[in-house]
Each structure stands twice: as C-alpha cells, then as structure tokens.
Amino acid sequence: MAVAADDHSFTPSNESLVDRYLRPKIAGGQINDHANACFFNDADVCSARPYDLVRHRTPARVPCRDAGDGMQWFFFSPARCKSLTTRRSRTIDGTSGKESWHSEGSPVAVEGSAGGGFMQKFSYHVRPAPGVIEKPGWIMAEYTVNKDTTRAGDLVLCKVYRSPRGPGRSRASSSSSASAAATNSGCKRKATDDEEHLEAATPCTRPRLTEEDDVMLLAEDIERGLLSHDDHTAAPEFEETTQHVEESEPEPPQ
C-alpha cells in the first residue's frame, strides 16, 4: 500500500476539512495545502467497496485510536443525493443493492467553521441474505458546505477509515425482527384462545349454587335434623312377647 514519502501523520480537524480543504476545492478545483495534497483523492465513494476504494491510495497516519488500523483516506466525491434533508442513495455500484453506506444520524453543524459546514456519519452495511445485516467495520464521515441545497453531483469531502471497535456482529433486520415478533405473538394468542376454549368446554365439577339453591338445601338440612330427633325420642314399638308359665303338678285330692 502506498504511503507518503515521509510517512507523517495528518489529523485535520472537522473545521479544517471544511474551510481549508473542501471550500477551496469547490471554488478553484484544487487545495492550497500542497504538503498534504497527497492524502486527498478524487473518486466517487459509492463506485466501489471500501477496501477496493482505498487500495493503492495514500493513507494518512493517525497517531491515536480514532481509526482502527491507524489510517484514514480522504476523497472529494460527487454527492449522491438531491438534498441532504431527503433520503439519500448510498448503494455501492455493482452490488445489486446488497452493500451500502448506511446513515447513522442526521447532518450536524461543524463547530468553528467560518462559512458553515456539516458532517454526517455512515457505516458500511452488507446484506448477505434476506433479513441479515453485517457491519465489516468501515466508517465514513461526509462533509458538506450546505445542508439544505446540496444537489446530486455537488462536491463533498469524505473521510473513510476502519472502526476502532472492529467489525460488527450479524443481526436480523428490523423487518425480519418485526415479522418474528408478530409470529411469536400470533402463537401466543392462539395458545391463549385454545386455553379459553378448553376451559369453556370442560364442565365444572362443583357447580356454582344460586341463592334459591342455598335456601332449599338449608330447608332439607333442617327437615333431616327434625326427623333424626323424632327417631331418637319416639316410644319404642310394642313387641308381642310370649310368657312362659311354669306348670305345677296338681295337688292330690284330699
């Protein structure tokens, strides 16, 4: 990979990127910092994958952890949007829409910029299968001089580098997650309906008594109690008994 002859570090601020490099490039077609001109490239950042885009380009060394491998690349690129306030196309050419720069938020004002400037972050997304998103770890910061009137083809400055955190994990897309949640919700609802149907179809072993039933049962209990009391206090039934009379021998006549 080609590097600068003296391999010196180059860490311009956001303010410097807008006022010292982007504005002069828009106005005159070249930048005034000849010492660091080797770090800037003219290329459409959406024309190739990041690793192909930076190949054979001169990287700037970053003596800090702002870049994962300590290198950054700068590109003057034509804007791919009609307006920064509308949805933009960041699909990489030749990838059939499966690879793109994904916006990580709205443009924010660059503090300290004399003429005003804006910066927006992007992360590189790859969709290897429906509903699956991978983040290889490439990051891009896009700088523009006007938030509301940037048109397709207008010049922007892009800083491309590797994330210090490395590649992100594969994850399901929001539409896939929503579909799975809906499926789980449907299964749960069905199970609940089945339980309610089963409960309604199963007869209760102890039917609920009404107030009238309680009164009738109480009357029956009282009646059984009275009958039981009479049984204990009534006179015993008459039983015919046989008396045995002892026969005595007749007295002899006198």
Question: Looking at residue 152, which CATH number applies to its domain?
Answer: 2.170.150.80
Rounded CA gap, 36 and 145, in Å? Answer: 21
Considering the domain boundaries, does residue 87 fall inside one? yes
Residue found under tokens 């034509």: 78
The count of domains in the chain is 1
Considering the domain boundaries, does residue 7 fall inside one? no
Rounded CA gap, 247 and 68, in Å? Answer: 137
Please state the separation of Cα 10 from the chain's center in Å: 38
Considering the domain boundaries, does residue 237 fall inside one? no
Strand partners, 134: 126
Strand partners, 109: 118
Considering the domain boundaries, does residue 220 fall inside one? no
Considering the domain boundaries, does residue 25 fall inside one? yes
pTM of the model: 0.63
Considering the domain boundaries, does residue 219 fall inside one? no
Per-residue pLDDT of the chain (254 residues; tens, 9 = 90+): 334 444 567 889 999 999 999 999 999 888 889 889 999 999 999 999 999 999 989 888 876 556 667 889 999 999 886 544 444 568 899 999 899 999 998 899 999 998 889 999 999 999 999 989 999 999 999 999 987 767 778 899 999 999 888 787 666 655 555 554 454 555 444 444 444 444 444 444 444 555 555 556 656 666 666 555 455 444 444 444 444 444 445 555 54
Strand partners, 139: 123, 161
Considering the domain boundaries, does residue 72 fall inside one? yes
Q: How big is the CA angle at 200 (ends 199 and 205), to the nearest 5 degrees?
A: 70
Considering the domain boundaries, does residue 70 fall inside one? yes
- State which residues form the domain around 77: 14-162
